[in-house]
Structure 1
Amino acid sequence: MPLHVPPAPAPALRSVLTALGSPTAVREARTPSLLRAQGPVTPELPLPVHVLDGVDASGVPVTRLSGWRFLIRCGDRAVAAAETMLTPDGWAFSRFFEGPYIASTELALRQAETMTQPCQPRLLSIPRLYMLTLWLHGDCAADGAAGRPAGTDLLVPLAPAPPGIAAHRPHRVADLLPVLTHRATPAPLLSSPA
């Protein structure tokens, strides 16, 4: 399936390019794979990062855009990622990082390319579960920075996923979201005996 990657805001991309061109920013990032990169590094596959804040009274997901994530490629693989954030002055570089979500994101994107339905890839973070998913939005023409997951959209949990949730297995939002919401809802406090 062709993935319709939404364009990142130009200032977000510029901020990442500036950070990549700054030896101080790269050195202070303490990302060993970025420091060891042989050859040019380029930011690719900008994905909007949305945070799931919960669901409203009617069960509709409440999300907010937290930034844009770029995979940093060196040669034939991603070696790190860069994130940007929206500040009062516009888009700004936030940080470089590496870890298991880099390879997991690449794998999930490759899996998504084999599906038959076109979609727009995004990332959906569920902080209460320490979980990140590839969100495959069905409206390819939508603004990547806006919107909420539709019931027919797909979520692909990235590895490492929380216990009991299989990584890299696509789930419809309507099926997975109730499970995630239940898990993320704090248990009521038990009252002490009188």
Structure 2
Amino acid sequence: MAAFNTSIRAYEDKSKDCQCGVNNSYLSGESPFFCAEDVMVSADEAYDLIKERSIIKKSEGYEFNPKSLLQYLSNESGEFVSASKLDRLLKHEFGSYFKKLNKKERLRIRNDYYQSSNIIMTKTPSEYDGWPIDPTCWLYGARAGSDCGCCGNYSGPCYGCSPACYLHDKSCETCEPSWYCLSGCVPGPC
């Protein structure tokens, strides 16, 4: 199915690129192989999530407001959207926000994220398109692998987040149904 969907995307976009993004749950051995582009999420749930997290960041003194992303999700209300597209739009919007910040504000984001979590920066800024942190993890406040929104690892620091992982974690607060929440699920609030 992944190969079929990849072929369709390449044909529709007239691209020679395979367009099959890394699926972290496959890499960690928690799911069968499929492309990140094939994970679909509810536009309404994603809208509520992004809006809520943006309000929380505003209360922490950050003016991150992903207007374009929220408008896209509002236009798609009642539909399912590609989680990888949602992730790309979120990271693009964060990039625009981050570029407008002065050096002191950028340093504040980096220090708040790393000092409060007592984790060592294990990735280089180039691994996050030049940013010192994964912007999606920053938005969700995910620092440890067991935090809501973190994809693929459950022990140690979080290496990557996505809206799909957050929405999955949110729906699995009680670990039911077990087939969807996976065997390593630990009940807890997001």
Same fold, TM-score > 0.5, yes or no = no
Specify which structure has the bigger relative contact order, considering alpha-carbon pairs within 8 angstroms and separated by 6 or more residues.
1
TM-score range, shorter chain: under 0.3
In our comparison, the structure showing a higher alpha carbon Rg is 1
More strand by share: 1
TM-score of the two chains, using structure 2 as the length reference: 0.28
